[in-house]
């Protein structure tokens, strides 16, 4: 927001550009509307003599205050609770026009952006702007997979758009914590574990579960949080740069923290020690560079996977050159490609696709695409690596498998199991559990293995003898934690052939009888009431019942099976009782 004159004097001397906001967040009270118009003029009177002041804004993140058809929606509730106190959007637009006129009187040349981070777009006049913390506050306001694919929030016809805030939290470094944090923030629990629960206003304990596994030491929390922050910074910055046809400006929030544990989404702690995300951001903003994009991370041997080659050019000159890429398996080069490339000034372009043929690996391997951009004079100016985890084509175990339900049958056929009648089967896959409870009870009493596949979206509730099992709508999460002691199946940002981009791992979780949690997500603060360690929301459970084993799977599977070998391996291990 606008501040004292001395700050702008220093900004002028340092050559730093500033954006100044009225002190408005979310809403504007009706009885303050005229005062806000007056203060808009006073703000411009302060700013107009300072060349560092290049832009002004009236409100940060205004919310929608209007009813809709659902009286229980947050919008209808907000309308009922706040509508008599705060301006509706059409009235807020009238305030914008009045404030603009006050500024025009003080300075007719002022550049104005009505809204910073519009949660009720679009504004009627001027450049639109959105905020996204989609890799922190999950799917806010657009799922990260869609953002990476090229989707953006709605834009007014004929306009470009900006992203005025984005980022994710990364904890301060251990040395800064131990040097400056209050003792009560650093205390270990009775088991000698440490969780970031006592750091005032820190969000890591509440939000991490959508992205990475819970840790129990300070060093591990710092490492994992900073790794995720760096990944989020790179993924989002690259996505914005690929959409230079619509996105005209971006601002990560923020660069440097003012004090310990201040705003931990900053890229540099207050001791001026950069977090990993600082270097990711610096690299992503290289003015002229290439960028490799692909929706797949886990692949099968002999697949051909297209990898997009983008040129990102933030310079004022048209550029051209050549991209050379090599394909290697565990460090051994097996193929190469090259293409001539060019891009206009201040623009981005997909120059082509590398058809990466995954070698016929006989074990889990790393396949790397190493691409180098050469400029007009043949000088290497940028290099980037994209990694796949490649799996050999797994053969189904020699067991008899029966299926009950169309979805179950598709899974059995996909994995190549020998089809059997239910009475002769070693394992029975069931996708219509509510209609076949008695059959499942009998199978378990006979010592069979039963794998229940629940619907991707709809909820189910059933009883197997004295076991009550049901699913409940839960958060849409990309990451799912795998229980300690199991293989690292890496259930994270899985590809879906239905949408042709990475999709949610789960939308619901399992409640009811006790069982072994094989895959799970975490409760968030305010849901479970506990601080740490956090409660688990199981996504896959195993029950030893009767003489048999019962697996209940609530992961989102449609479009994913057959395209994510890590997920396929997990499902097959359940079918074959390897877990």
> What does the pLDDT read at residue 78?
83
pLDDT confidence band for 3 (50 / 70 / 90): confident
Out of 297-306, 489-498, 521-530, pick the least confident. Answer: 521-530
pLDDT at 526 over 70: no
Average of pLDDT values for 63-92? 86
pLDDT 10s digits, 433-486: 999 999 999 999 999 999 999 999 899 999 999 999 999 999 899 999 999 999
pTM of the model as a whole? 0.94
pLDDT 10s digits, 30-55: 999 999 999 999 999 999 999 999 99
> What does the pLDDT read at residue 236?
98
In sequence order, what are the residues at sequence separation of 6 or more whose Cβ sits closer than 8 angstroms to the Cβ of residue 323? Answer: 290, 309, 338, 339, 341, 351, 371, 372, 373, 374
pLDDT 10s digits, 229-266: 999 999 999 999 999 999 999 999 999 999 999 999 99
In sequence order, what are the residues at sequence separation of 6 or more whose Cβ sits closer than 8 angstroms to the Cβ of residue 270? Answer: 172, 176, 256, 257, 258, 259, 260, 262
pLDDT confidence band for 529 (50 / 70 / 90): very low
pLDDT 10s digits, 553-577: 999 999 999 999 999 999 999 999 9
Q: How many whole angstroms separate alpha carbon 141 and alpha carbon 153?
A: 8
Average of pLDDT values for 80-96? 91
pLDDT 10s digits, 188-198: 999 999 999 99
SS3 per residue for 179-215: HHCCHHHHCCCCCCCCCCCCCCCCCHHHHHHHCCCCC
pLDDT confidence band for 527 (50 / 70 / 90): very low
> What does the pLDDT read at residue 1?
65
Average of pLDDT values for 24-32? 96
């Amino acid at each position: 927001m606008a501040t004292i004159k001395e700050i702008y004097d220093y900004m002028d001397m340092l050559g730093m550009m500033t954006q100044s906001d009225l002190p408005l967040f979310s809403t504007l009270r009706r009885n303050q509307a005229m005062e806000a118009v007056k203060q808009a003029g006073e703000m411009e009177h302060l700013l107009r003599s300072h060349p560092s002041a290049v832009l002004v804004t009236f409100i940060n993140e205004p919310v929608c205050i209007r009813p809709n058809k659902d009286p229980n929606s947050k919008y209808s509730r907000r309308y009922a609770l706040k509508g008599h106190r705060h301006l509706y959007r059409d009235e807020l637009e009238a305030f914008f026009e009045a404030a603009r006129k006050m500024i025009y009187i003080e300075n007719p040349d002022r550049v104005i952006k009505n809204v910073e981070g519009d949660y009720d777009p679009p504004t009627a006049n001027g450049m639109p702007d959105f905020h996204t913390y989609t890799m922190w506050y999950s799917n806010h306001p657009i799922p990260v997979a869609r953002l990476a694919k090229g989707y953006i929030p709605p834009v007014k016809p004929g306009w470009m758009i900006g992203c005025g805030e984005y980022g994710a939290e990364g904890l301060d470094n251990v040395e800064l914590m131990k040097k400056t944090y209050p003792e009560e923030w650093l205390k270990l629990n009775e088991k000698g574990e440490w969780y970031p629960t006592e750091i005032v206003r820190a969000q890591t304990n509440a939000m991490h579960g959508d992205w990475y596994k819970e840790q129990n030491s300070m060093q591990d929390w710092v490492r994992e949080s900073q790794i995720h922050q760096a990944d989020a910074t790179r993924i989002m910055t690259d996505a914005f740069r690929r959409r230079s046809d619509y996105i005209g400006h971006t601002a990560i929030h923020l660069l440097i923290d003012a004090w310990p544990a201040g705003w931990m989404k900053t890229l540099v702690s207050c001791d001026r020690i950069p977090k990993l995300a600082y270097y990711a951001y610096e690299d992503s903003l290289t003015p002229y560079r290439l960028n490799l994009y692909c929706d797949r991370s886990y692949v099968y041997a002999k697949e051909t996977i297209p990898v997009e080659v983008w040129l990102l050019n933030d310079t004022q000159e048209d550029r051209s050159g050549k991209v050379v890429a090599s394909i290697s398996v565990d460090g051994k080069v097996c193929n190469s490609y090259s293409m001539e490339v060019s891009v206009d000034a201040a623009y981005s372009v997909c120059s082509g696709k590398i058809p990466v043929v995954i070698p016929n690996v006989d074990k889990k391997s790393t396949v790397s695409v190493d691409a180098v951009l050469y400029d007009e004079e043949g000088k290497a100016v940028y290099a980037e690596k994209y990694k796949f985890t490649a799996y050999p084509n797994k053969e189904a175990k020699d067991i008899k498998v029966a299926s009950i339900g169309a979805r179950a049958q598709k899974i059995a056929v996909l994995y190549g199991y020998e089809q059997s009648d239910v009475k002769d089967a070693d394992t029975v896959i069931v996708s219509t559990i509510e209609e076949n409870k008695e059959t499942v009870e009998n199978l378990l009493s006979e010592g069979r293995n039963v794998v229940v596949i629940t619907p991707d979206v709809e909820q189910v509730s059933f009883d197997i003898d004295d076991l009550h099992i049901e699913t409940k709508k839960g958060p849409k999460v990309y990451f799912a934690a795998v229980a300690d002691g199991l293989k690292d199946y890496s259930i994270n940002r899985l590809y879906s052939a239905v949408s042709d981009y990475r999709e949610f791992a789960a939308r619901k979780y399992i409640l009811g009888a006790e069982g072994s949690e094989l895959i799970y997500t975490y409760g968030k603060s305010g849901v479970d009431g506990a601080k740490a360690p956090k409660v688990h929301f199981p996504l896959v459970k195993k029950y030893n019942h009767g003489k048999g084993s019962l697996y209940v799977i609530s992961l989102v599977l449609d479009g994913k099976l057959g395209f994510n070998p890590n997920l396929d391996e997990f499902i097959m291990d359940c079918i074959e009782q390897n877990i």
